[in-house]
């Protein structure tokens, strides 16, 4: 389940990067090329589409990142499958001898 979420996060990240790179805040991005076509062919506001796509992809990325965090951290806690002995070697201590009575 976690790896499926990671693949989806990767795909959405690539799409979000592409949508952001297509935009240009000065109006000379992809939307500028369709301004004249919008008057002729009825193309509706490419800038609105790109802005909405950015927000939807950002929201989807946020939700998937939270879900992936939950999926990968589900096994953490007191019983996570690791013991302290695997990481810290036991220290040999000498037991003091009890006095003879």
**pLDDT tens readout for residues 30-80:** 656 665 555 554 445 677 888 899 999 999 999 999 999 888 886 555 555
Considering only residues 97 and 50, tell me which one the structure prediction assigns the higher pLDDT: 50
**Rounded-to-integer distance, Cα 50 and Cα 24, Å:** 10
CB neighbourhood size of 92 (10 A): 5
**Rounded-to-integer distance, Cα 10 and Cα 60, Å:** 12
Using alpha carbons only, what angle is made at residue 57 by residues 64 and 2, rounded to the nearest 5 degrees? Answer: 20
pTM check: above 0.75: no
**Rounded-to-integer distance, Cα 3 and Cα 8, Å:** 9
């Amino acid at each position: 389940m976690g790896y499926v979420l990671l693949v989806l996060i990767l795909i959405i990240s690539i799409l979000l990067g592409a949508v952001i790179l297509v935009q240009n805040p000065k109006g000379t991005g992809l939307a500028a090329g369709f301004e004249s076509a919008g008057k002729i062919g009825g193309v509706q506001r490419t800038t609105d589409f790109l802005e909405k796509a950015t927000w939807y992809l950002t929201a989807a990325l946020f939700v998937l990142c939270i879900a992936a965090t939950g999926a990968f951290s589900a096994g953490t806690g007191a019983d996570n499958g690791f013991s302290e002995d695997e990481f810290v070697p036991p220290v040999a201590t000498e037991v003091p001898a009890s006095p003879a009575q």
